[in-house]
Amino acid sequence: MYRETDIIQTIPGTDEMVINVGPQHPSTHGVLHLVLTINGEIVKKVEPHIGYIHRSIEKMCESLTYRQFIYSTSRMDYLAAHTNNHACAMCVEQGMGIEVPLRAQYIRVLMDELTRIASHCLWWGSIAMDCGAVTPFFLAFREREMINTIMEETCGARLTMNYNVPGGVMADIHPTFQQSVKDFVRHFRSKIDEYDELVTGNIIFQSRLKGVGKLSKEDAISYGCTGPTARASGVSCDVRKHFPYEIYNQIDFKEITHTAGDSYARYLMRLAEMRESMNIIEQLIDNIPEGDYLAKTKAVLKLPKGEFYSRVETPRGELGVYIVSEGGTTPYRIKFRSPGFSNLSALDHMTRGHKIGDLVAIMGTLDLVIPDIDR
Amino acid sequence: MTREDLQQDLTGRFPDFTFEEGGQFLTMHVPAAQWSNIAYFLRDTPEMQFDFLFCLTCVDWLKHLTMVYHLRSYTHKHELVVKCQLDRDNAEIASAAYIWRTAEFHEREVFELFGVNFLQHPDLRKLILPDDWVGYPLRKDYDDPINMIKL
């Protein structure tokens, strides 16, 4: 028997030993603790221990009103706070039957896609760093900074936007918003080609990812993977296509899927998604309709008795918000089906038989955000 | 299958089960003792093929606990919610971890936060909370005078 406090323990009678990765480890990008059973360099088993930053947001939300609880969800997936807020606002609107003005829908979708690019930028920098290249991290942050500045101008915050409220968005867009977004897209189009030249074609990088961490289509579905992780395995699961919300059904965009299911496919997936997000932004940015940005709602929101489920496509996959209401001003029970939680459960399956170094690459391409998993 | 067809098909096969009126998804109430058989049926029957368990959670109603399973079929594009009522003092239900692998983590979460015992679960341990945690925090009558801030 090994104690968790021991750093390395051998298992008597076998060549295997148990080591701890994390909770403080640069490649886990947060406080994720993995207990590995290894034989030499080969990983036999991965056991994730999570909950180091569990704040029980679900319990907290039970005592917050329908206007207040949205803010706590910015602290789940802090790299995509806007999409989290979006799912919650949509769930309340669905329960109340609030019609969101068209202008607000356009703004929400634009912000969602900017968030997606910003989140994937950070992921691109960190996966390259996980595989040993440090420069891409700084390059990606340069582009991400532009999005953060745009967010700051309009939402007032760089990460925890809290821009979505039931009925629309909190404030109108900044007068220079459209111009800054157009400048950003023009700038980013040339930079993403640079990303490809620098990292995608790199033979060392490719050999670190190709054939590593394969996930078959059946397994991806069974493990509940969503988002780029599942689409890289050939599962067509884009919520924006299958359960269109806001104005996604009027936008011309492709759902990208790969069939290889390995880490390299997941890498290509996210780069392609950034390009597709730019296409969506370009279609919308000049056509934001005039009108209200916020529907008129009652001061105190009360959801009728019943159950409501809403979902959005966050950069990591399908985020579901499940509200059970008893007719009061606060939710009776709320459940966040976070994409990272389900994606993490496939880690053990994907890593078995690979080397420890590959574990880092697999974790990197899963794009884990720990507060999103812990909630 | 459309929602009406699905309800008709399921009523034909299981006349005892009740369905909820209205709501976003078609919702079926299943006795907890039969859940394991129903789960296999829902996944493996060609007309059903619910291959994706996209949400698994529990709700504490003070008189009883209710397990809520959200299912979707990638093949047929239909969705179904299955609910099982559990006794609060002796909450037990068959695990779905061998049917949908994603259930393994979700059930561990429900196990520690609601105190539901999942039978035949491959690895039923605390996932989020420390190992020595006492009580089930997401139950409505849970009280922690030190760490909980009442609003």
Q: Say which CATH number the domain at A76 has.
A: 1.10.645.10
Nearest to B23 among A63, A242, A307 (CB): A307
Q: Report the domain count for chain A.
A: 2
Give the C-alpha separation, B130 to B113, whole Å. 12
Asked whether the predicted pLDDT for residue A5 surpasses 60, the reply is no
Exposed/middle/buried for residue B5 (C-beta within 10 Å: 0-12, 13-18, 19+): exposed
ipTM over 0.90: no
Touching check for B100 and chain A: CB below 8 Å? yes
- Do A16 and A98 have their domain in common? no
Taking contacts as CB-CB distances below 8 angstroms, the residues of chain B near A97 are none
Touching check for A305 and chain B: CB below 8 Å? no
CA B115 to chain centre: 13
Touching check for B63 and chain A: CB below 8 Å? no
Least CA distance to A52: which residue of chain B? B128
In this predicted structure, what is the pLDDT of residue A1? 46
- Do A154 and A270 have their domain in common? yes
Least CA distance to B20: which residue of chain A? A306
Domain residue extents for chain B: 3-91
* The architecture CATH gives domain B3-91: 2-Layer Sandwich (3.30)
CB crowding B138-148: b at 16 or more within 10 Å, else e: bbeeeeeeeee
How many CA atoms lie within 13 Å of B27's alpha carbon, on the beta-carbon side? 16
Touching check for B71 and chain A: CB below 8 Å? no
Residue range of the domain that includes A35: 8-49
Question: A19-28, B66-75, B136-145: which range is least confident on average?
Answer: A19-28
- Do A39 and A76 have their domain in common? no
Q: Is the dihedral of CA A354, A358, A359, A364 positive or negative?
A: negative
Residues A203-231 have a mean pLDDT of 89
Q: How many residues would you count in chain A?
A: 375
- Do A31 and A157 have their domain in common? no
Asked whether the predicted pLDDT for residue A361 surpasses 60, the reply is yes
Give the C-alpha separation, A259 to A232, whole Å. 6
- Do A201 and A234 have their domain in common? yes
A3 inside domain: no
Q: What is the pLDDT of residues A140-163, one digit of tens each?
A: 998 899 999 998 988 888 888 888
A1 inside domain: no
**In contact, B85 and B63? CB cutoff 8 Å:** no
Interface of A with B in 85-124 (CB under 8 A): 94
Interface of B with A in 27-56 (CB under 8 A): 51-55
Asked whether the predicted pLDDT for residue B76 surpasses 70, the reply is yes
A116 inside domain: yes
Touching check for A246 and chain B: CB below 8 Å? no
pLDDT band at B151 (very low <50, low <70, confident <90, very high): low
Question: A3-7, A73-77, A237-241, B50-54: which range is least confident on average?
Answer: A3-7
Touching check for A238 and chain B: CB below 8 Å? no
- Do A42 and A75 have their domain in common? no
Six-digit token string for A345 = 């459960």
A2 inside domain: no
- Do A102 and A155 have their domain in common? yes
In this predicted structure, what is the pLDDT of residue A7? 58
Least CA distance to A320: which residue of chain B? B55
Give the C-alpha separation, B140 to A103, whole Å. 40
Asked if B105 and A237 come within 8 Å (Cβ–Cβ), the reply is no
Give the C-alpha separation, B47 to B9, whole Å. 9
Nearest C-alpha of chain B: how many angstroms from A301? 18
- Do A258 and A341 have their domain in common? yes
- Do A35 and A64 have their domain in common? no
Nearest C-alpha of chain B: how many angstroms from A134? 33
Percent pLDDT > 90 in chain A is 23
- Do A85 and A160 have their domain in common? yes
Least CA distance to A342: which residue of chain B? B102
A335 inside domain: yes
- Do A289 and A249 have their domain in common? yes
In this predicted structure, what is the pLDDT of residue A131? 84
pLDDT band at A181 (very low <50, low <70, confident <90, very high): very high
- Do A61 and A42 have their domain in common? no
